[in-house]
């Protein structure tokens, strides 16, 4: 099969045999993961399991030592992070890193740098999805609440019209009401057809909205399967659901 083939079984994102780490530390020991078009995959695991490292390796922020990453059948493993963004991969980093001194609108426009011709149209779509961002579009992003900054970080990532969205702990540090709001946004994005790889420590919430779940333990996939089955799995319940 040629790399440009997009047949019915082409994954939106496919990770095969991925090894990555920092200096002499190997943090990921051969990860296989698949995200199908229109699907939401939850990646859960304890602190330090390697969730962020996996997202960094997928988006090219750290080099992988072995293995491959493909986006709709195209191998992007050797591409720069910028090229991966242009190929359709967009990541919301851990800790909602918005540009605090810049206005909400300028943060969004920066997110759309790869698609300058679509920016106005895309801005309007983001304001429809997140009305609070339109109200506050002229304010410095740093003045927004934590939940609003997380929405801004997600909207900024969506400005590039991603084919696959990577979210790193979007609910981290938010009050329960805001966590529900963020999950409602994630469900809406999935309904719009954006394939999402969602990293969460909030395993119950993530598996409840996901199609498929993966459990990462010290750099390896310990369990994976339909999200509903993982929710009922006693190994998952004992370790991650606080049951």
Binding site for ligand ATP (CB under 6 A): 22, 25, 27, 45, 47-53, 94, 201
With binding defined as CB under 5 A, does residue 52 bind Mg ion? Answer: yes
Q: Return the number of the residue (104 or 167) whose C-beta is nearest ligand ATP.
A: 167
Smallest distance from ligand ATP to CB 53, Å? 3
| Tokens standing for residue 195 | 């394939």
Smallest distance from ligand ATP to CB 185, Å? 21
Smallest distance from ligand ATP to CB 50, Å? 4
Interaction partner, residue 27 (ligand ATP, Mg ion, none; CB < 5-8 Å by kind): ligand ATP
With binding defined as CB under 5 A, does residue 91 bind Mg ion? Answer: no
**Integer Cα distance of 46 and 212 in angstroms:** 18
Q: Return the number of the residue (130 or 214) whose C-beta is nearest ligand ATP.
A: 214
**H or E stretch including 77?**
none
Q: Return the number of the residue (70 or 171) whose C-beta is nearest Mg ion.
A: 171
CA-closest candidate to residue 155, choices 106, 202, 212, 84 = 106
Count CA atoms closer than 13 A to 161's CA, side-chain side.
14
Interface with Mg ion: number of residues (CB under 5 A): 3
User: Nearest 5 degrees, angle CA 172-CA 107-CA 195?
Assistant: 55
Interaction partner, residue 20 (Mg ion, ligand ATP, none; CB < 5-8 Å by kind): none
The one segment of 48-56, 128-136, 150-158, 205-213 that binds Mg ion by CB under 5 A: 48-56
Residues 6+ apart with CB under 8 A from 109: 119, 123, 159
At 217, phi and psi to the nearest 5? -130, 125
Smallest distance from ligand ATP to CB 91, Å? 13
CA 141 → CA 21, 56, 61, 102, 156, distances in Å?
32, 24, 24, 6, 12
Positions in the binding site for Mg ion (CB under 5 A): 51-52, 94
């Amino acid at each position: 099969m040629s790399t440009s083939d997009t047949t019915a079984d082409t994954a939106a994102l496919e990770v095969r045999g991925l090894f990555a780490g920092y200096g002499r530390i190997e943090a990921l020991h051969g990860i296989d993961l698949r995200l199908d078009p229109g699907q939401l995959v939850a990646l859960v695991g304890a602190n330090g399991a390697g969730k962020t490292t996996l997202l960094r390796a997928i988006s090219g922020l750290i080099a992988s030592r072995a293995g491959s990453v493909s986006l709709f059948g195209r191998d992007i493993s050797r591409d720069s992070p910028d090229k991966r963004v242009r190929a359709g991969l967009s990541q919301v980093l851990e800790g909602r890193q918005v540009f605090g001194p810049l206005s909400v609108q300028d943060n969004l426009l920066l997110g759309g740098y790869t698609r300058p011709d679509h920016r106005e149209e895309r801005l309007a779509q983001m304001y429809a999805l997140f009305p609070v961002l339109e109200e506050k579009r002229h304010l410095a992003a740093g003045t927004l609440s934590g939940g609003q900054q997380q929405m801004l970080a997600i909207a900024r990532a969506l400005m590039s019209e991603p084919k696959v969205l990577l979210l790193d702990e979007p609910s981290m540090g938010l009050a329960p009401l805001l966590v529900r709001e963020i999950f409602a946004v994630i469900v809406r994005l999935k309904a719009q057809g954006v394939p999402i790889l969602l990293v969460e420590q909030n395993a119950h919430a993530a598996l409840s909205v996901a199609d498929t779940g993966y459990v990462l333990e010290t750099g390896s996939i310990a369990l994976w399967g339909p999200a509903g089955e993982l929710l009922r799995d006693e190994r998952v319940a004992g370790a991650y659901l606080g049951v």
